[in-house]
Each structure stands twice: as C-alpha cells, then as structure tokens.
C-alpha cells in the first residue's frame, strides 16, 4: 500500500473528468463558486449548475497526479451566472436600472421630496438576469422620472383662457369653499359655492337641459345644460331638481335647490363649465377676484 495514495474518481454527467485529492475541499470550492462566483462582481446573485460531480474513492499509484483545478474549471464552466439588480419602472415599463436596493430607495425618496406628479406609478422591481444591466446614477434617474404637478391656474387674479362668446351669471350665492384644479385628493373640475340647503341654483345661461337625475359618479343630483357651440354647464349635489331632460331654460331660471347629495361634505353647488368636454376654470368667467 505504500505505493498507493487515497484519491477520488470524479465523474461529471456520467463522464470521467479526473482524480481529486480531497472530495471535501473540491466540493466546498464548487459550492462557494455557486454562491459567490469569483467575488469579482457585487451584483452576482448565484451560479446555476444543474449537475454536480460524483465521487468514488479509489487508490492511485503515487506517481499519478490528481487534477483538482482541472475538475473545478470543468464544472464551473458549465454554470450559468445570474446577476441581481433593480429596475425602476414607470407605468410598468423599465426606465432605469440601479445596482443596489438602497439606491432605488433614494430615487423614490427624492421623487417624493420633489412631489413628482407620477410618484404613484413609479415602482421598484428586483431583477435577475444572465446579463448585467447598464446602471444610471441616482440623480439622473430622478431627473428623467420627475413630472411636475399641473398648477392650479387660479392664483388670486383672473387669467382669461378663452372667450365663451356668451354672457353668464353666477348660478349660486355663497362662499367659495373649493376651487378649480389640483387639490390633495383629486383634480377638481369645478368650483364649489357653499350655502344653506335649499338655496336657489339658477341657470348660468339659457340652453337645453341634457341631464337631470341622480349621478352615481359622485355628483349626486346633477343638472347639465347645453348652451351650444360645445359649451355645457354642470350643477351638482342638489337636494332637489326642478327641471327635466329636454327642457329649455332661460338664464337666471331656478333649476335646482342646493344640497349635499353624492360625494359631498356639506351643502354646496358644484359648478363646472366645459368646452367640448374639457373642464375650464369657472373663475375665468364668473366669481372673478373672489
């Protein structure tokens, strides 16, 4: 026996690939590579090696060399390397990639600080791929993703956007409690004028009633009047409706009584002016300077 040494026959995928001097050390080396690769890339997630070598003990003549390095290289060359990184998505589409999760969190944090209008549509998604993505610096991600919020055009002075080509009167008397434009919970498409329940709501201009019933979309009891040339006015949250669909009304005619139906926190008239379906700021035409 002094002419022999203990070793291991190593086969891979059923084929002989060499002799190992230490089954334990060789397998530990392979396992380390599966978990960490060669420690040459911080984004390496793991190496996928479907088949591991098999070992059977034998005795070799002392003049026969073992080849652990060759066996190791043969096994790891069959592996597939997967990298881990993070995609920053906008509306479900990958826009930018960063190396680590804290970097992605910094992008989100900066967008929130800047009150980006699209923050609810920005997501962080963990990615595993055989190819490493190209990474974008944090500030460049923020610049590319940032979307400024639309500004409420009403700022204490009248900004005339378009002529209606007609005169209107104020449909309700009261206090303005909510103005046109972006507010905390939504994009407010009209003007809220608050007063007591039952206060008169009048037609801002003559026209034809095209809607007069309860609206489940939040307006409650709603009247819509068409004035021609694509111009419509909306009167929402009424306690009572005093007109019917198809009826012609005159300017100043009472069409409803103020209420708090639908999504409402108190009695008021929600008043809208729309041109070809697009909501306009009523204070460009009425309640100016208030």
Cα angle, residue 131 at apex, residues 128 and 135 outer, rounded to 5°: 85
Q: How far apart are CA 73 and CA 36, in angstroms?
A: 15
Per DSSP, helices labelled H in the chain are 23-36, 68-76, 101-113, 138-145
* DSSP assignments along 246-282, one per residue: T-EE-TT-EEEE-B--SS-SSSEEEEEEEETTEEE-G
Task: Kindly tell me if the per-residue pLDDT of 144 is higher than 90.
Answer: yes
Q: 125-129, 144-148, 158-162: which has the minimum mean pLDDT?
A: 158-162
Mean pLDDT computed over 260-278: 92
pTM of the model: 0.46
pLDDT of 173-214, one tens digit each?
Answer: 998 888 888 766 677 899 999 999 999 999 999 999 999 999
Give the pLDDT mean for 266-277.
Answer: 93
User: Of 43-52, 54-63, 96-105, which gets the smallest average pLDDT?
Assistant: 43-52
**CA gap 215, 66 in Å, rounded:** 85
Locate the domains of the chain by residue range.
4-78, 83-145, 175-284
pLDDT digits (tens, 9 = 90+) for 223-260: 999 999 899 999 999 999 999 999 999 999 999 999 99
The pLDDT assigned to 62 comes to 87
Q: What are phi and psi of 131, to 5 degrees?
A: -115, 140
Q: How far apart are CA 98 and CA 136, in angstroms?
A: 6
36 or 104: whose pLDDT is higher? 104
Q: CA torsion sign, 272 to 115 to 118 to 124?
A: negative
Share of residues in the chain with pLDDT > 90 (%):
62
Per-residue burial over 75-85, b if 16 or more Cβ lie within 10 Å, else e, is bbeebebbbbb
CA distance 83 to 27: 23
pLDDT-derived band of residue 166, with 50, 70 and 90 as boundaries? confident
Answer with the residue of higher pLDDT: 58 or 161: 58
DSSP 119: G
Residue closest to 204 by CA, chosen among 221, 224, 181, 186: 224
Which CATH homologous superfamily contains domain 175-284?
Glucose Permease (Domain IIA) (2.70.70.10)
């Amino acid at each position: 026996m002094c002419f022999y040494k203990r070793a291991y026959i190593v086969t891979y995928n059923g084929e002989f690939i060499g002799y190992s001097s230490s089954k334990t050390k060789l397998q530990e080396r392979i396992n380390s590579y599966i978990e960490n690769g060669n420690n040459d890339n911080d984004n390496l997630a793991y190496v996928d090696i479907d088949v591991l070598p098999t070992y059977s003990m034998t005795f070799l003549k002392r003049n026969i060399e073992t080849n652990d390095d060759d066996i190791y290289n043969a096994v790891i060359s069959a592996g597939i390397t997967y990298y881990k990184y993070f995609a920053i998505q906008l509306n479900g589409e990958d826009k930018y990639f960063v190396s680590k999760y804290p970097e992605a969190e910094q992008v989100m944090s900066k967008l929130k600080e800047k009150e980006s209008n699209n923050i609810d549509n920005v997501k962080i998604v963990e990615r595993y791929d055989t190819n490493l993505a190209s990474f974008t610096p944090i500030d460049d991600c923020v610049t590319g993703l940032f979307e400024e919020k639309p500004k409420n055009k009403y700022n204490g002075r009248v900004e005339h956007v378009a002529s209606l080509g007609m005169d209107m009167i104020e449909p309700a008397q009261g206090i303005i409690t909510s103005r046109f434009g972006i507010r905390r919970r939504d994009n407010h498409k009209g003007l809220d004028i608050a007063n007591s329940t039952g206060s008169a709501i009048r037609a801002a201009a003559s026209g034809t009633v095209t809607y007069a019933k309860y609206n489940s979309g939040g307006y409650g009891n709603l009247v819509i009047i068409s004035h021609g040339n694509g111009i419509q006015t909306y009167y929402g949250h009424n306690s009572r409706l005093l007109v019917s669909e198809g009826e012609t009304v005159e300017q100043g005619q009472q069409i409803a009584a103020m209420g708090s139906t639908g999504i409402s926190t108190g009695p008021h008239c929600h008043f809208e002016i729309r041109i070809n379906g697009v909501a306009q700021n009523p204070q460009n035409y009425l309640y100016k300077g208030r």
